[in-house]
Amino acid sequence: MKQLGKQSWEFTTRPVILGASAVVGPEEGEGPLASDFDFIYDSLEMGEKTWEKAERALFEKASKLALMNADLEQDKLEFFVGGDLMNQIISSSFAARKLGVPYLGVFGACSTSMESLAIASMIVDSGGSKYVLAGTSSHNCTVEKQFRYPTEYGSQKPPTAQYTVTGSGCAVVGVNDGSGKHPYMLTATLGKIMDLGLTDPFNMGAAMAPAAADTLTAHFRDTGLTPSHYDLIVTGDLATVGLPIAQTLLAEGGIPMEETVFKDCGNMIYNMDKQKYVIAGGSGCGCSATVTYGHILKRMRKGELKRVLVVATGALLSPLSYQQGESIPCVAHAVALEFGGETR
């Protein structure tokens, strides 16, 4: 691995995604990407007594399917890098008990999907491991209960509010054997904290948009690439409010982004015309994770996409910081995926 510029890494051995999985809840199963998910639960309870236990089951299911899709026995796995939105990242920590391997718990809020993938790639690229699992999860009811109001309360939400995705995405990162059979990680750009003073927890898209724009700017500066290098550039969960803001910020900085290339997972995972309850679109750790490890990787394997940049965004607030009147610090982490064709 070598450093590019101030914020980016280039993975010189090109670690690959040997197998991945995307497991979702019933609402996500009604969306346009349903056929790209590995498993769809028919209820939010998932056979458990609490929402938190349901999210844990979701994570455990995704990790098991990722190993199966990678054709890797669990005893061959060497590390697990994961995180989620719950206090003390209990969903990933409790799920790690089932894996029985060294565990690195990370927290980047909804940016955790690419944070964990970047760290897993770094471990493999440095020779520290042959097989690392990266993953994250979120559950609509656990997040609403912790960060806003319990669903039973039935509170009204403004047009800027987003709907937390019930889903878990995991990927098995391994050594590149040169066969060309798997998508690989080429670079990662780690974001800085951006905080423009927004305090509204129901307007996450606007709060996170500057972080996405800043990380994208750093990525193109560090790598010397332009947006046209990629077939798809997708943000994590800016949704209908945040994506246009990020696009405007980038244009003002001299980086025009074409709408056909610049997309958002929060807009992709739901049918925005029919599923009106999602309001401004999807959010949560499971948003970018399930769209990337389900829909995007399948399109790459079909040859529809060769170069994709995933920029997962995260709002690093807590119930305590909100109650104390703090603004919302945000971050975005990007990972460049490639499959087929010539490497740079």
- 229-258 per-position pLDDT tens digit: 999 999 999 999 999 999 999 999 999 999
- Is there a shared CATH topology between the 2-174 domain and the 184-338 domain? yes
How far apart (Å, rounded) are the C-alpha atoms in residues 212 and 216?
Answer: 6
Q: Is the pLDDT of residue 309 over 80?
A: yes
DSSP H or E segment with residue 18: strand 16-24
**pLDDT, tens digit, 9 for 90 and up, residues 113-125:** 999 999 999 999 9
pLDDT band at residue 157 under the 50/70/90 scheme: confident
In the chain, where the domains are located: 2-174, 184-338
Mean pLDDT of 174-196: 97
* Contact between residue 168 and residue 39 where contact means Cβ atoms under 8 Å apart: no
pLDDT band at residue 343 under the 50/70/90 scheme: very low
Mean pLDDT of 202-206: 94
Cα first-last separation, the chain: 15
Residue 150 is predicted with a pLDDT of 65
How far apart (Å, rounded) are the C-alpha atoms in residues 6 and 30?
Answer: 42
Which two tokens mark 220? 């193109």
Q: Is 236 left (phi over 0), alpha (psi -120 to 50) or beta?
A: alpha
Q: Is the pLDDT of residue 344 over 50?
A: no
How far apart (Å, rounded) are the C-alpha atoms in residues 1 and 10?
Answer: 6
pLDDT band at residue 152 under the 50/70/90 scheme: low
Architecture of domain 2-174 in this structure: 3-Layer(aba) Sandwich (3.40)
Q: What is the DSSP string of 166-216?
A: -EEEEEEEE---S---S-EEEEEEPPPPB--S---TT-HHHHHHHHHHHHH
Tell me the three-class secondary structure of 296-332, residue by residue: HHHHHHCCCCCEEEEEEEEECCCHHHHHCCCCCCEEE
CB neighbour list of residue 71: distance below 8 Å, 6 or more residues apart = 18, 19
The hierarchical CATH code for the domain 184-338 is 3.40.47.40
Give the mean pLDDT of the chain. 95
**pLDDT, tens digit, 9 for 90 and up, residues 8-44:** 999 999 999 999 999 999 999 999 999 999 999 999 9
Q: Is the pLDDT of residue 156 over 90?
A: no
Among 37-41, 141-145, 317-321, top mean pLDDT goes to: 37-41
Q: Is the pLDDT of residue 185 over 70?
A: yes
CA angle, 41 then 238 then 299, to 5° = 60
pTM (2 d.p.): 0.96
Percentage of the residues of the chain whose pLDDT score is greater than 70: 97
Q: Is the pLDDT of residue 154 over 80?
A: no
**pLDDT, tens digit, 9 for 90 and up, residues 55-83:** 999 999 999 999 999 999 999 999 999 99
How far apart (Å, rounded) are the C-alpha atoms in residues 105 and 290?
Answer: 19
pLDDT band at residue 151 under the 50/70/90 scheme: low
* Contact between residue 36 and residue 212 where contact means Cβ atoms under 8 Å apart: no
